Chain A
Amino acid sequence: MAMRLKGWFAAMLVGMLAARAAAAAGPWDAPAAALTAQIAGQMGPGQAQLMLRNLSSIANGDLPAIRRLLIQDLKVHGITVSGAESANTVRITLSETAHERLWVSEVVQGNETQVAMVRTILDAQHSAPAAAGLVLRRQQIFISHEPVLAAAELPDSLILVGPEQIAIEQRTTTGWQTIKSIPIGQRRPLPRDPRGVIVADTAHFDARVAGMQCTGSFLGAWAIACHESDDPWPLVVRVSGVTLSAFYNGARNSFTGVVTPSIGIDLPAFYDAALLPRPAGNAALLVGGIDGKAQIAESGALKDVSGARDWGSDFAAIDSGCGMGVQVVASGSGAAANDSLRAYELPALEAVPASTPLTVNGTVMALSSAPDAKSVYAIVHDADDMYEVDRVTALCN
């Protein structure tokens, strides 16, 4: 008889669990099941009063559902939730630390209290959607714990420049797979705000970090070589197809202001530069000085750009085809926890916002234009110490 009862109970348990599994699994199913199993192990079948409180970031609106789930799971283990008249009390506290959720139960039976705990991960934060206008759209194409200073996207691969290594990632059906990774081999300590650049096509790349140059060539497989170099870094491809390069101060985090070939104007030390094609076929060079000023070098003169006080240190040109055709996507200079990107047009010497700000999940570490200039790549360092490579495009509206 006892065996038959056990068998019936097991069948019922399996049936109830199967029914639970058939329903869409919610985020609270696993911790509720694990905690109630521990509670059952401590108090065994019987009746208990259930008290639930929330000290976590879980919305109070979710509590009735969690309570129902706990009652249901306790029932599976033979514990029936009753009123205050019960001699047993199960106090469940939904708590959390800075890194994880912690559900804590206290089973009170007479003078004895037994504690059980289960932990689960905190939900990822969601960023607000971009607003209307010229709309910037962000697509995450890569994420890693390894620091990324610059990235170049090729048809089926991604070249990542880190402070200490160059990695080639191959796109597969299950995500990115590292097919080659080589150390850059610096002998000097890295600066605290390390930077890098890369220019690439399907057959070659030229990558720079402070004091080092790495070149790659593709002949069925990538061959990569790195060596010490203080040569100027490739900055932008000029309209004529000539690459404008600039000397980088490897002990700091900025360019010295000396560019090659010379553009006939003395530039200040700067953090970033972008080429702005002009309708007449010529081009202007936009530089972001280390003094915080944005200036345009054009027609033999260097002129201040107004309206750029909200800009951070990084920007890149994007040829969206919307509005004036070419915009500048700049990081923000605010003090919020997450950085933002915004598109600007520069009709004369004034930066005019052309989109609403697009919030990113952390700090923008670098911005660069894609080879076709139709999008920009943003390297974002988030609060969890992850590095994202995002492709940002502008949609006409």
Chain B
Amino acid sequence: MRWTVLRRCVISCALLMLVLPAAARTRPHYGGTLRVEIAGDPWQRPDGLARRLVFDGLTAIGTDGAVKPALAVEWSADDDDHRWQFRLRPGVHFQDGTPLTSVNAAAALNAACPSNCPWTAVRAVGSAVVFVGDAPMPALPALLADDAFRLALTINAEGKTPEGSVGTGPFQVAGFNNSVLTLTANENCWQGRPFVDSVELRVHRAVRDQWLDLSVGRADMVEVSAEMTRQAQQQRLNVIAQPDATLLALQVNDSGPLANPILRTALAEAIDRSALANVIFQKQGEPVAGLLPQRVSGYAFLFPVERDLNRAHELRGGLSLPPLTMSAESGDAAMQLAAQRIALDLHEAGFTVQMVAGNELRTNLTLRRFMLEGGAPGAMLETVLRAANEQPAVIGDGPADLYQAEHEALERHTLIPLLDLPRAYAVGARVRDLRLNADGEPDIANASLEDAP
């Protein structure tokens, strides 16, 4: 146990060293084109990179993890947190010139969240956006910083649906050609024009090809998956990383053969998290049994991570079950390998697991990645539970309340936390002041280029 904790500290410290904000000692230059390559879809919900660059939320999470104003400048709650009112920042325009109003903000939020929202209704009341909930919403300001709730214009000033994606963010869409999404600086961005003139986002690019492009100077920022972080460092790539930015967890369907909570507990006891971290993720993942990372909650050590195969057998009690189906949410190799490794662990505990390439709703077990965003611990917990389609309890302010809420969520054993994984990028020599936000997303708007004209 002690070694686990020590190892955790060493890895976290090492990754934190990579992400320490480099102070802007020499002022950033304006101009140039930043070339970014990614393996996925830039518009993918919730964390597609283009969404971050084009859209803003009502609130944002600062580098210190605190909620800060964004498109809303102030907010207040009444009716015991059942009703929230957000006052919009004056003078903000969408990239097509449409002014930001409470009407188009409410319409954008309704479009962003058609169901399972943290609120029951959102509407424009005068110049404010008002949220009403059947349950109290104490963490709403932090939840609204979530990428899922960024505002995309749905009705422009002429009452028409705009063509393409229009937001208030630092970059606007200029075109998409040959797998390259071109974004140009929004000169009138309410946060100030970004330093670079444009971003070229090459999408659906294999990671190996990304690294090659970086090495020959064809790319400025590329992705580094958790399991490849060590390799990237060995190749002397300039890696920036945010530790515990994503949570790898096994989502358990509590209907069908796993309706019995004791069987779900047995699953949780049977998984060897250390083997997953050491073998599949090349010692870059951190075994966890809690939903919130230690740096956020401070009490993650209370949830033991050690495998207990004897207890798993004991809990299963010799029951004969039909084969369980399991899928990995993402098709990438590491996720597939991790799922196969888990299937082996469960087999040792007497469960038969069949790997399927299927929809999570149809399988008994789904291996998923959850973004650890939301800044404040309560909001982060609520975000993870919502992403898992679980109804979060109302979480109080103190650490004991938070622990209680997390403990209750884990007791259901419908979401079994496995590893906290870092989020990392490799950047070229001409990129300056590129930092990662608390959730591991790069802050491209505040980056600049050394050789900008």
Contacts and interface: CB of A to CB of B under 8 A. Distances in A.
B298 A313 contact: no
A96 B446 contact: no
A385 B2 CA distance: 34
Given A55-B5, A95-B298, A98-B296, A192 B193 contact: yes
Q: Which of B24, B28, B194, B403 is the most central at the interface, judged by chain A CB atoms within 10 Å of its CB?
A: B24
Contact of A117 (B28, B190, B294, B403): B403
B175 interface: no
B9 to A, nearest CB: 7
B23 A253 contact: no
A119 B298 CA distance: 10
Interface residues of B, number: 43
A55 B301 contact: yes
A334 B25 contact: yes
B27 A313 contact: yes
A187 B91 contact: yes
B14 interface: no
A231 interface: no
Interface string A320-354: 00000000000111111111000000000000000
Interface in A84-99: 93, 95-99
Given A95-B294, A95-B298, A337-B20, A189 B26 contact: no
Interface string A104-132: 10100000000111010000000000000
A98 B297 CA distance: 9
Interface string B282-299: 000000000000111111
A252 B64 contact: no
Nearest to B9: A55
A58 interface: no
B385 to A, nearest CB: 20
A115 B297 contact: no
A377 B246 CA distance: 42
A117 B24 contact: no
A192 B65 contact: no
Interface string B1-36: 010010001000000000011111111111000000
Given A98-B295, A102-B399, A192 B191 contact: yes
Contacts of B301: 55, 93, 95
Interface residues of A, number: 48
B296 A116 contact: no
Interface in B173-189: 187-189
B400 interface: yes
Interface in B261-310: 294-299, 301-302
B193 A313 contact: no
Contacts of B91: 187
A305 interface: no
B195 interface: yes
B164 interface: no
A101 B399 CA distance: 11
Contacts of A189: 188-193
Interface in A204-253: 251-253
Given A116-B400, A384-B64, A335 B27 contact: no
B62 interface: yes
Contacts of A117: 298-299, 398-400, 403
A182 interface: no
Contacts of A313: 25-27
Contact of A332 (B25, B65, B294): B25
A202 to B, nearest CB: 32
Contacts of B28: 192-193, 253
Nearest to A192: B192
B295 A254 contact: no
Interface string B41-64: 000000000000000000000111
Contacts of B188: 189
Nearest to A190: B192
A200 interface: no
Contacts of A55: 5, 9, 294, 301
Contacts of B194: 192
B392 to A, nearest CB: 20
A98 B300 CA distance: 13
Interface in B299-355: 299, 301-302
Interface of B: 2, 5, 9, 20-30, 62-65, 91, 187-195, 294-299, 301-302, 377, 398-400, 403, 445-446
23 contacts: A97-B294, A97-B297, A115-B403, A117-B398, A117-B399, A117-B403, A187-B91, A189-B191, A190-B191, A190-B192, A192-B192, A192-B194, A192-B195, A192-B446, A194-B192, A251-B193, A253-B27, A253-B28, A334-B25, A339-B23, A362-B23, A363-B23, A383-B21
Given A55-B301, A115-B302, 11 more contacts: A53-B2, A95-B298, A100-B298, A187-B91, A191-B192, A191-B193, A192-B194, A192-B446, A290-B27, A333-B26, A339-B25
Interface of A: 53, 55, 93, 95-102, 104, 106, 115-117, 119, 187, 189-194, 251-254, 271, 290, 292, 312-313, 331-339, 362-364, 383-385
